[in-house]
Structure 1
Amino acid sequence: MISAEAVGWKVGGAQILEDVSLTVGAGELVGIIGPNGAGKSSFVNILSGVTRPSSGRISLRDKDVTQASATRRARMGLARSFQTSALFDGLTAGENVRLAVQAAGTASFSPFRGAGSSTTHVIDELLGRVRMPGRSRTLARDLSHGDRRKLELAMALASEPAVLLLDEPMAGVSAEDVDGLTEIIGEVRDAGVAVAMVEHHMHVVLGLADRVAVLHHGQLLAVGAPTEVTADERVQQAYLGEAL
């Protein structure tokens, strides 16, 4: 569903990513791990179109999108979340989702257009999907950090994406919310969406991922089944420490 072929990215004279190749298929979740500064978020930015690579090729649903904008890729079925929350804090949870639903629709987008009955049904369905039933009227600023992450997922799912990129979805989330978010992401994958997820919570990655990719100093150190990757001595030395 999405693939990177020999992707490289330079900033000035610094090589941030070098010769990174990775694919994610429909209904597959690939966990992307590595030390801080390994290039994980930079790689997600390139996959989503926020950043253009210096070399290599990005394909989305068998189409070359290397030069395509983030907006174009979103229209082709790609959605993503960011490390930091990106919500309209002065709007309710339902209003945030409404904007995402309207933006994903074929009609001309207007933030001032009210939600019709069909849109209201979709909003309620999306909030229910992320375990937030009855929270439609709660202001985004009043939500817990865990619920803010869930709301971001609901907004990303509003476009019914074929590919979902998640950049540290558990960052700052309390321990009691991690399991719920993990369950929701697993359900998205099981529904046939291709998911690439950057995450530092190893128990989340090992519990969810079909494959794990390890970035180190901007290069792909290893990729494979979770048990294979965690047993790799190079990965243990670079990131995991002692054998798990």
Structure 2
Amino acid sequence: MIEATAVGWRVGGAQILDDVSLSVGAGELLGIIGPNGAGKSSLVNILSGVQRPTTGRISLGDKDVTRTHATKRARMGLARSFQTSALFDGLTAGENVRLAIQASGERPFSPFRRAEGDEGDRVDELLERVRMPGRAATLARDLSHGDRRKLELAMALASEPTVLLLDEPMAGVSAEDVDGLTDIIGEVRDSGVAVAMVEHHMHVVLGLADRVAVLHHGQVLATGSPDDVTSDERVQQAYLGEAL
């Protein structure tokens, strides 16, 4: 569903990514791990179109989208989250989701247009999907950090994506919320969406991912099943540590 082929990204004299190739299929979750500075978020930015690679190719489905803007990629079925929350804090949870629904629709987008037709039902459906029933009227600024992350997922899912990129969805989330978010992401994968997830919570990655890609110094050090990757001596030495 999405593929990076020999992707490189250079900023000034710094080589951030170098010859990175990976792919994610429908109904598959690829965990992307690596130490800080390995290039994980840079890769997500390039996959989503926020940045353009210096070299290499990005494919979405059967289309080359290497030079395609992020907005058009979103229209083609790609959605993503960011490391830091990106919500309209002065609006309610329901209004945030409604705007995401409207933005992904065919009608001209207007933040002033009220919910029409089945939009209200769709808002409730999405909030229920992310374990937030009855929270539509709560201001985004009043939500816990875990619920803010769930709301971002609801907004990403509003476009009914075929590919979902998640950049550290568990960052800053309390331990009691991690399991709930893990279940939601697993259900999204099981619905047939291709999911690529950058995450530092190793127990989440190893328990959820079908395959794991390890980035180190901007290159793919290893790719394979969670068991294969964690038993790879190069990965242990570069990132995971001998204890694991």
Alpha-carbon distance, 1:63 to partner = 0.2
Q: After the TM superposition, which residues 57-76 of structure 1 pair with which residues of structure 2 at under 5 Å, given as runs?
A: 57-76=57-76
Aligned residue in 1 for 2:196: 196
- SS of residue in 1 equivalent to 2:42: helix
Superposition RMSD in Å: 0.5
Deviations 1:98-140 (A, max 9, x none): 0000001111111100002400000000000000000000000
In structure 2, stretches of 5+ residues that fail to align are: none
Q: After the TM superposition, which residues 1-244 of structure 1 pair with which residues of structure 2 at under 5 Å, given as runs?
A: 1-244=1-244
Q: 1:231·1:243 contact (CA, 8 Å) conserved in 2?
A: no
Indicate the larger mover: 102-111 or 190-199: 102-111
- SS of residue in 2 equivalent to 1:120: helix
Residue type at the aligned position of 2:170? M
CA–CA separation in structure 1 for the residues paired with 2:35 and 2:83:
15
Alignment coverage as a number of residue pairs: 244
CA–CA separation in structure 2 for the residues paired with 1:237 and 1:139:
46
Q: 1:230·1:243 contact (CA, 8 Å) conserved in 2?
A: no
Given the two structures, how large is their TM-score scaled by the length of structure 2? 0.99
- SS of residue in 2 equivalent to 1:26: coil
Deviations 1:196-224 (A, max 9, x none): 00000000000100000000000000000
Runs of 4+ in 1 over 2 A off after TM superposition: none
In structure 1, stretches of 5+ residues that fail to align are: none
Residue type at the aligned position of 2:204? V
Residue type at the aligned position of 2:118? S
Residue type at the aligned position of 2:207? G
Percent sequence identity over matched residues?
83
Alpha-carbon distance, 1:243 to partner = 4.7
- SS of residue in 2 equivalent to 1:99: helix
Residue type at the aligned position of 2:32? I
Given the two structures, how large is their TM-score scaled by the length of structure 1? 0.99
- SS of residue in 2 equivalent to 1:58: strand
Residue type at the aligned position of 1:197? M
CA–CA separation in structure 2 for the residues paired with 1:25 and 1:124:
29
CA–CA separation in structure 2 for the residues paired with 1:243 and 1:192:
35
- SS of residue in 2 equivalent to 1:114: coil
CA–CA separation in structure 2 for the residues paired with 1:94 and 1:124:
8
